[in-house]
């Protein structure tokens, strides 16, 4: 059978430093498990490309990506040369929308060997998923400015909640919860203050919930939900949230597990009509870029999620070597977090490339 085609887009800043480590580990996994992966490398979707050309991507970007099976993505953003909304709406957010990646799946997990900033928490206590709506909601380009430059200036930005958009992410989250041991879904809301869209979101959640009588739910306003991520993270199993709330929760959750440098994400088009995109939760981290100290594990774990996704029936039946490779990479991450070395975000002195090497070595064994 033909190889899986993977588009590689490192982007900016530490995206360019963690990507080689992700590819290093994927190569080790491919050798060990006999995976058939083919890469297409692109330098665009970066602020460097913008500086040269005045746009984030070539006009024909879609034709390069849409016949790939997956996109492996570093991080985009270099606000010193390109405003963030220009760089992100010109790349990552465009991919999520144009490729209808309506699920952003973000695991939150406390590992052994990682100091937890919350008191008295050990590995196993924090182990849940944030399911983030990824194509609409508070992230919209609908709105505008009036009376610009005057003291009557008005800026309006709409949120968009469609029935299809709400139902499909809610159904995905219920489905996921129904397959887990605890079968519990937390629904993030803010229907007390955001008085049109959030009551609608709640209403759709109640409606979709009828299809899943085996799943228990609780609905929490985003403010107290954030507090409970810190106070009682052990109570969560699957958490579903709108685009913005999910964005915030998916930095907060990993922060509660020691560092955002571990957190991966899968931007999924579950229908598999378009390529899905796998990337760390974190950004380009200009404050540490160029120093070879970024933690590459979020990138590496995202690569494992990509293999899991590729292995699950893209070409018919599930392909076990890909699922095994996912499990082996996660196991290698577990081992390296226990035995070290660690990057500075975890209190260590190791470099980005040393972590990639250590992980590859453990994986190859
Ligand atoms: P950021 O995630 O880049 O960095 C936040 C903090 O976390 C920084 O102190 C950084 O050093 C640290 N950090 C992040 N990743 C780390 C890692 N792997 N190892 C160790 N420490 C790490 O968020 P920001 O500073 O708000 O954004 C910087 C730029 O990245 C902006 O342009 C922003 O728009 C962009 N961004 C892009 C993405 C993406 O491409 N998916 C995500 C978030 C932010
Ligand atoms: C993320 C990022 C993006 C988002 C930014 C860079 C637009 O923070 O992937 O979490 O808000 O979705
Ligand atoms: Mn974010």
Q: Which residues of 109-120 are buried (b: 16+ CB within 10 A; e: fewer)?
A: bbbeebebebee
Question: What is the span of the domain harbouring residue 69?
Answer: 1-102+272-365
CA angle 327, 328, 329 (to 5 degrees): 95
User: Of the residues 192, 224, 256, which one is the last residue of a structural domain?
Assistant: 256
Closest to 135 in 3D by CA, of 160, 110, 170: 160
Residue 120 belongs to some domain of the structure: no
Instruction: Measure the CA–CA gap between 188 and 182, rounded to whole angstroms.
Output: 18
Residue 158 belongs to some domain of the structure: yes
Residue 262 belongs to some domain of the structure: no
Same domain, yes or no, for 361 and 249? Answer: no
Same domain, yes or no, for 72 and 142? Answer: no
Instruction: Measure the CA–CA gap between 328 and 304, rounded to whole angstroms.
Output: 9
Instruction: Measure the CA–CA gap between 220 and 202, rounded to whole angstroms.
Output: 10
CATH number of the domain where residue 6 is located: 3.40.718.10
Domain count, the chain: 2
Q: How far is the CA of 305 from the centre of ligand 1 (A)?
A: 20
What confidence tens digit (pLDDT) does each residue in 63-106 have? 999 999 999 999 999 999 999 999 999 999 999 999 999 999 99
Residue 111 belongs to some domain of the structure: no
Residues in the chain: 365
Which ligand is in closest contact with the Cα of 89? 2
Ligand 2 pocket residue status of 88, Cβ below 6 Å: yes
Q: Atom 7, ligand 2: which residue's CA is nearest?
A: 88
Q: How far is the CA of 283 from the centre of ligand 3 (A)?
A: 8
Q: How far is the CA of 124 from the centre of ligand 1 (A)?
A: 26
Residue 28 belongs to some domain of the structure: yes
Same domain, yes or no, for 232 and 316? Answer: no
Residue 144: which residues within 8 A CB-CB, separation 6 or more?
A: 155, 156
Which ligand is in closest contact with the Cα of 282? 1
Residue 114 belongs to some domain of the structure: no
Residue 221 belongs to some domain of the structure: yes
- For residue 314, the model assigns a pLDDT of 63
Radius of gyration of the chain (CA): 20
Same domain, yes or no, for 28 and 148? Answer: no
Same domain, yes or no, for 247 and 281? Answer: no
Same domain, yes or no, for 281 and 248? Answer: no
Same domain, yes or no, for 216 and 324? Answer: no
Closest to 45 in 3D by CA, of 25, 19, 22: 19
User: Of the residues 256, 282, 308, which one is the last residue of a structural domain?
Assistant: 256
What is the number of alpha carbons within 13 Å of residue 149 lying toward its C-beta? 0
Ligand 1 pocket residue status of 268, Cβ below 6 Å: no
Same domain, yes or no, for 232 and 137? Answer: yes
Residue 110 belongs to some domain of the structure: no
- For residue 1, the model assigns a pLDDT of 75
Q: How far is the CA of 247 from the centre of ligand 2 (A)?
A: 7
Where the chain has pLDDT below 70, the residues are 314-316
Q: Atom 9, ligand 2: which residue's CA is nearest?
A: 281
Same domain, yes or no, for 196 and 90? Answer: no
What confidence tens digit (pLDDT) does each residue in 113-151 have? 999 999 999 999 999 999 999 999 999 989 999 999 999
Q: By percentage, how much of the chain surpasses pLDDT 90?
A: 98
**Is 84 buried (19+), middle (13-18) or exposed (0-12) by CB count in 10 A?**
middle
Same domain, yes or no, for 178 and 214? Answer: yes
Q: Atom 6, ligand 2: which residue's CA is nearest?
A: 88
- For residue 316, the model assigns a pLDDT of 67
User: Of the residues 198, 229, 256, which one is the last residue of a structural domain?
Assistant: 256
Same domain, yes or no, for 231 and 280? Answer: no
Instruction: Measure the CA–CA gap between 63 and 23, rounded to whole angstroms.
Output: 23
Same domain, yes or no, for 225 and 167? Answer: yes
């Amino acid at each position: 059978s033909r190889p899986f085609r993977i588009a590689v887009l490192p982007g900016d800043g530490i995206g360019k430093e963690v990507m080689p480590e992700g590819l290093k580990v994927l190569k080790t996994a491919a050798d060990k498990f006999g995976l058939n992966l083919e890469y297409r490398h692109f330098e665009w979707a970066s602020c460097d490309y913008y500086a040269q050309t005045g746009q984030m991507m070539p006009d024909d970007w879609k034709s390069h990506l849409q016949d790939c099976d997956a996109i492996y993505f570093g991080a985009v953003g270099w606000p010193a040369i390109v405003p963030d909304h220009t760089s992100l709406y010109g790349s990552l957010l465009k991919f999520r929308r144009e490729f209808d990646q309506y699920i952003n799946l973000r695991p939150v997990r406390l590992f052994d060997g990682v100091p937890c900033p919350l008191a008295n928490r050990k590995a196993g206590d924090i182990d849940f998923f944030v399911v983030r709506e990824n194509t609409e909601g508070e992230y919209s380009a609908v709105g505008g400015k009036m009376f610009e430059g005057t003291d009557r200036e008005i800026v309006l930005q709409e949120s968009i909640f469609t029935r299809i958009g709400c139902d499909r992410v809610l159904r995905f989250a219920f489905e996921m919860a129904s397959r887990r041991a605890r079968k519990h879904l937390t629904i993030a809301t803010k229907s007390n203050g955001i008085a049109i869209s959030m009551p609608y979101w709640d209403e759709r959640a109640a409606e979709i919930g009828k299809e899943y009588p085996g799943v228990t739910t609780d609905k929490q306003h985003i403010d107290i939900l954030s507090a409970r991520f810190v106070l009682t993270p052990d109570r969560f199993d699957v958490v579903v949230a709108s685009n913005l709330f999910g964005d915030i929760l998916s930095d907060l959750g990993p922060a509660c597990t020691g560092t955002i440098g571990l957190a991966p994400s899968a931007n999924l088009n579950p229908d598999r009509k378009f390529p899905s995109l796998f990337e760390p939760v974190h950004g380009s981290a200009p404050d540490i870029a160029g120093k070879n100290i970024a933690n590459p594990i979020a990138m590496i774990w995202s690569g494992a999620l990509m293999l899991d996704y590729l292995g699950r029936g893209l070409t018919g039946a599930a392909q076990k070597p890909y699922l095994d490779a996912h499990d082996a990479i996660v196991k290698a991450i577990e081992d390296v977090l226990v035995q070290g070395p660690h990057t500075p975000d975890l209190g260590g002195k190791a470099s980005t490339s040393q972590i990639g090497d250590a992980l590859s070595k453990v994986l190859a064994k």
